[in-house]
Structure 1
Amino acid sequence: MVKGTHQAKEDARNKSVKIFINGEFFPREAAKISVFDSGYLVGDGVWEAFRVHKGCLVFIDLHLDRLWQSAKVVGIPIPFSREELVGHIQKTLDINGMQDHIHVRVMLTRGIKATPSQDPRLTISGPNLVIIAEHKEAGDESKNQGVSLFTSTIRRGSPDYLDPRLNCHSKLHEVQALIQALEAGADEALMLDIHGFVSTCNATNFFMVKDGEVWTSTGQYCMNGITRGNVIRICRENGITCLQKNFSLFDVYGADEAFVTGTFGGLTPVIKIDGKPIGATGAGPITRQIRTGYENLIEQEIQR
């Protein structure tokens, strides 16, 4: 089992899940896309991932907003409505008999190319839509004991060449950052922005707690996290000071608590950064308070 914020409990049912590809369903081992697909050739695609709890597509409107915005930014025409996509997702859940603790990934690429090339004019098909739904429940080790981070030399880029808020298939720099962290013996990577301030992690958003205040980056150089936004909302609604500001590793090393946020893991405590311990083992009191608020927010979504 891989330790980190995406650590999941083993589930044998995932071996037989059916995958949605452009309106058809395929067994896992037979689910394939052409090697001429734009996403495979040049990372030309966008994606979205979300959770399903008790039959509810949690925060689905926020995720669809982000998917449609990402597709618009890169100029991929979406040939279906939001309602039609939700219908495709629901069919995928139904055919797999899925109701609870489900992770869904929706991937949309520009389509098939006539020949290997960056040029979008050489696309000879409509966009390719793939939906993968799996039984996934967060593993107890990372959730309860926390994860360690290592500060990568790979920086989060400036919005003028690849906006970090774009959920695109081009994730090579995050992979490089994670490899550095793994080679250093950590679970995941902490990434700085182009000015040297703390930005985000390779796959999650970063928060720290100092003297009762919650700090996170300005948002200019970090992922446009749905869970990040919900955490900021929870703090605001519960009287917890949450500052979106510039801060450096000097501040991080002196944090009382730290945690990262993501769609799959929710809130995961951080217990060590660059070999330096942060707080006690596991989630600190403010992290636990916010995590409870997040779980309550999910329950409100289910009831609504």
Structure 2
Amino acid sequence: MPKGTHDAIEDRRNEDVMIYVNGEFLPRNEAKISVFDSGYLVGDGVWEGIRLHHGKLVFIEKHLDRLWQSAKVIGINLPFSREELLETIFETLRKNDMYDGVHLRVMVTRGIKKTPSQDPRLTISGPNLVIIAEHKIASSETKKRGITLFTSSYRRGSPDYLDPRLNCHSKLHEVQALIQAIEAGADEALMLDIHGFVATCNSTNFFMIKDGEVWTSTGQYCMNGITRGNIIAVCEANGIVCRQKNFSLFDLYGADEAFVTGTFGGVTAVIKIDGKSVGDGQSGALTQKISDLYEALIVQETK
């Protein structure tokens, strides 16, 4: 069965978690929101995925920066301060007695609509805030095995119609790309930009390694991933050449190693792309070194 970077170790405690919904804490099976919610109707909202490590929210300031920027871009006036949101997050964690090995999803939509419509002027409430916290640790089996990718025909969009840096609820084209990959027998989808260069994956950022150099896209057509930025910084700080550049499938099929990055899975090796083995078809030495350096950065950031 295909695996992916969001595979998690099963944890029965998640059956009883309390979900924060607009000032209330509700049991998982009772946590609901109106069918007139803007996010449900037209995908009108923004979100962040955040990890809790030994009581600390990992890279939280960067996540808050991105959330506030995304909300501003689509014209949602957040009715709370950063400090108030942080307190609500920690209240959610206390409610669920959570300290480590936790993944949170913070979601903000424009609010409740008077009637189904795209028009934001028909919103009759303030923004809706939902926080889901789960006991969630990435599968060590998937990390050890690595993942396979399939290049989708769905391209990452141009910034002039849906900027790929916008972490919004509208993810249908990434879902379509993933469906193509699954139907092709791969774990996740690789996506090209509008010029045919390698951009990103459906839910993670992509890196390849050639002759000791790390390559990733220019960043113009991919999510401005927090982990992506940290990996680039880690490489620079440790004398590993990391180039943000255009490269094609021609370059990629000759890669020595490849990996993807994300908040939940961290660094995960890619062992096959479009049926072709990457290097020797296993997680490579430099990928493992970068993964170790990234985990060390998390430890340093959460002391």
Q: Would the aligned equivalents of 1:145 and 1:281 in 2 still touch at CA under 8 Å?
A: no
Please tell me whether the aligned partners of residues 214 and 242 of structure 1 are also in contact (alpha carbons under 8 angstroms): yes
Distance in 1 between the 2:210 and 2:263 partners? Answer: 24
Tell me, what secondary structure is at the counterpart of 1:104?
strand
CA RMSD of aligned residues (A): 0.8
In structure 1, what is the Cα distance between the partners aligned to 2:50 and 2:3? 20
Q: Secondary structure at the match of 2:161?
A: helix
In the other structure, the counterpart of 2:176 is 176
Scaled by the length of structure 2, what TM-score is found? 0.99
Secondary structure of the corresponding residue to residue 160 of structure 2: helix
Q: Give structure 2 stretches of 5+ with no counterpart.
A: none
Counterparts of residues 113-128 of structure 1 (less than 5 Å): 113-128=113-128
Which ranges of 4 or more aligned residues in structure 1 deviate by more than 6 Å? none
The CA distance in 2 between the partners of 1:253 and 1:188, in whole Å, is 17
Cα deviations by residue, 1:66-93 (Å, 9 ceiling, x for unpaired) = 0000000000010000000000000000
What CA distance in whole angstroms lies between the structure 2 residues aligned with 1:73 and 1:102? 29
Q: State the shift of 1:280 in Å.
A: 3.0
Instruction: State the match for 2:103 in structure 1.
Output: 103
Shift of 1:282: 3.5
- Match of 1:216? 216
Structure-1 separation of matches of 2:10 and 2:98? 16
In the alignment, what sits opposite 2:7? 7
Specify the code of the residue in structure 2 equivalent to 1:283: S
Q: Deviations over 1:116-168 (max 9, x none)?
A: 00000000000000000000011122111100000000000000000000000
What is the rounded CA distance, in whole Å, between the counterparts of 1:41 and 1:2 in structure 2? 31
Instruction: Confirm or deny that 1:287 pairs with 2:292.
Output: no
| Identity fraction in percent | 75
Residue 13 (structure 1) shift: 0.3
Is 2:151–2:191's contact at 8 Å kept on the other side of the alignment? yes
Amino acid of the structure 2 residue aligned with 1:23: G
Find the aligned partners of 1:222 and 1:145 in 2 and give their Cα distance. Answer: 25
Q: SS in structure 2 opposite 1:286?
A: helix
Match of 1:69 in 2: 69
Counterpart code for 2:193: D
Contact 2:2 2:185 in 1 (8 A): no
Which string of whole-angstrom CA distances, capped at 9 and with x for unpartnered residues, describes residues 245-278 of structure 1? Answer: 0000011110000000000000000000000000
Aligned residues: 303
User: 1:182, 1:27 → 2: CA distance?
Assistant: 32
Deviation of 1:225 after TM superposition, in Å, equals 0.3
How far apart are 1:2 and its partner, in Å? 6.5
Deviation at 1:281, TM superposition (A): 4.1
Preserved contact between residue 2 and residue 186 of structure 2 (Cα < 8 Å): no
Distance (whole Å) between structure 1 residues aligned to residue 281 and residue 98 of structure 2: 34
Quote the Cα distance in structure 1 between the aligned partners of 2:110 and 2:221. Answer: 25
Aligned to 1:82: 82
- The one-letter code matched in structure 2 to 1:229 is G
With the length of structure 1 as denominator, give the TM-score of the two structures: 0.99
Which shows bigger deviation, 210-219 or 278-287? 278-287
| 2:198 partner amino acid | V
> Is this contact kept in 1: 2:159–2:221, CA < 8 A?
yes
